[in-house]
Amino acid sequence: MDLLIKIGQLVLSLSILIVLHEFGHFLPARLFGTRVEKFYLFFDPYFSLFKKKIGETEYGIGWLPLGGYVKISGMIDESFDKEQLEQEPQPWEFRSKPAWQRLVIMLGGVTVNFILGFLLFAMTLFVWGEQYFPNENVTAGIYADSLGQEMGLRTGDKLLFIGDQKVERFNDRILLRDVAINNARSVTVNRDGAEQKIEIDKKWADILTRRENKRARIFTARIPFTVAEVVKDSPAKKAGLATFDNVVSVNGVPTPYYDLFAEAVRGRNSETIELGITTKDDKTVRQVSVTTTEEGKIGVLAAPADYFYDTETIEYGFVESFPAGFQRGAQFVSDQLNAFGAIFRGDIAFKESIGGFGSIAGMFGTTWIWERFWLMTASLSLILAIMNLLPIPALDGGHVVFLLYEVITGNKPSDAFMEKATMVGFVLVLALIITANGLDFWYWFKGLLGGG
């Protein structure tokens, strides 16, 4: 079921993006009197799952979910329709239109994707607002996970600055972004009451963006251990633990924070331990004996950070949401461009930075949360726009480069040249798709083998 939810979200998101992208080409083409022969979601080599002709255009759904297309008369595209190009140009064909009209048609898809990305960011802010942990509210500091410890962070540190930017919002993804793509090379913390600057080696840009680390936590908020839920028939249930109980010691050793409890019980499999317990209303400590499972668990779910620390939510009116959404979208585009720069500089490994459909599906999560779905769709829309602007023949950006050349010089590349260039571009794009999905499969297979 989890896999189906991921696939369902991916298919719906990509279908929305593909249809609207192609509509961005379709609309100006029709406005300029250019004939559109096909409008397809997914590709349809040999056969289609559905098709219906309305007017001059055949609308359909293909069986190969690698994108979509509009087939515009008189245009050299991935269909490589040579027969049509051997005829005299007709007034309704793409090749008969002025260069500026052809340029508008080719930029229509990415324009729609940019507008859609900014719009979706705005609407998610309007509907759900923006919730975050103010850094100053996390009074106990961080729990440094293994990655954070290797970087030089320590549990209990209170974040002050990343680079020269003050930390306003508590989120380890901000640290990942700033180190990996914004070239931040230091983190300043308050450690045991004293300010300390931790230098971050440039190697961490590569380490943090490796596949095995992309979803790993660098740090989390350090929190006490309060029971949020007791698992049925668990050792904790049998021992009488209840929701909102606080675990404050293990075998007489104080454990004021959850990480100290976890450290105290690590390796104590199938062992009876004494827990010091207080309740929400009674701070008197009582001792409870619990026998751990074979895995060293007691069978409770701990309360999350927002139980202990207040979050803030910025609410946006309808009008206010648009500049805020544009700002968030612009920040996302800037981050992506900086990431490309880091790849070209060699700070981030190319093979660690691309992913196929499996990687994208994994980012949606195993539960259908509409806010996350629309935020992911907004992000993918902007990524699709950026990727389509790459100056590769067969992508919109490749056509735009040739059209700009024509507008500037007045010389139109020959159909034979465009055909060969498009073929080269198509092969490059296909190779990129195969590489990305091949890497997904390889890392998945390595995972089955335990990482070997």
Q: Please report, in angstroms and rounded to a whole number, the separation of the first and last CA atoms in the chain.
A: 28
Q: Say how far residue 330 (Cα) sits from the centre of its chain.
A: 15
Two structure tokens written together for 189: 């913390």
Report the distance separating Cα 358 and Cα 227, nearest Å.
Answer: 35
Cα 75 to Cα 417: distance, rounded to the nearest angstrom:
13
DSSP 13-60: HHHHHHHHHHHHHHHHHHHTT--EEEEEEEEEEEEEEEEEEETTEEEE
- Contact of 349 with 209, CB cutoff 8 Å: yes
CA 58 to chain centre: 34
Q: pLDDT by residue for the chain (452 residues), tens digit each?
A: 778 888 899 999 999 999 999 999 999 999 999 999 999 999 888 889 999 999 999 999 999 887 888 999 988 765 555 666 667 778 888 888 998 999 999 999 999 999 999 999 999 999 999 999 999 999 999 999 999 999 999 999 999 999 999 999 999 999 998 998 888 999 999 999 999 999 999 899 888 888 778 778 999 999 999 999 999 989 999 999 999 999 999 999 999 999 999 999 999 899 999 999 999 888 899 999 999 999 989 999 999 999 999 999 999 999 999 999 999 999 999 988 888 888 888 777 777 777 777 778 878 888 899 999 999 999 999 999 998 998 888 788 888 888 888 888 888 887 778 778 888 887 888 888 888 878 777 766 666 665 54
Question: Nearest-CA neighbor of 123 among 284, 350, 286, 321?
Answer: 321
What is the domain partition of the chain in residue ranges? 2-128+366-448, 131-220+305-314, 227-303
CATH class of the domain defined by 131-220+305-314 = mainly beta
Dihedral pair phi/psi, residue 193, rounded to 5°: 85, -5
Rounded Cα distance between 353 and 331, Å, is 19
Say whether 227-303 and 131-220+305-314 share the same fold: yes
Angle of CA points 331, 333, 337, to nearest 5°: 115
Per DSSP, the three-state class of 370 is: helix
Residue 426: CB atoms within 10 Å: 18
Exposure on the CB side of residue 172, measured as CA atoms within 13 A: 20
**Domain 227-303 classification at class level:** mainly beta
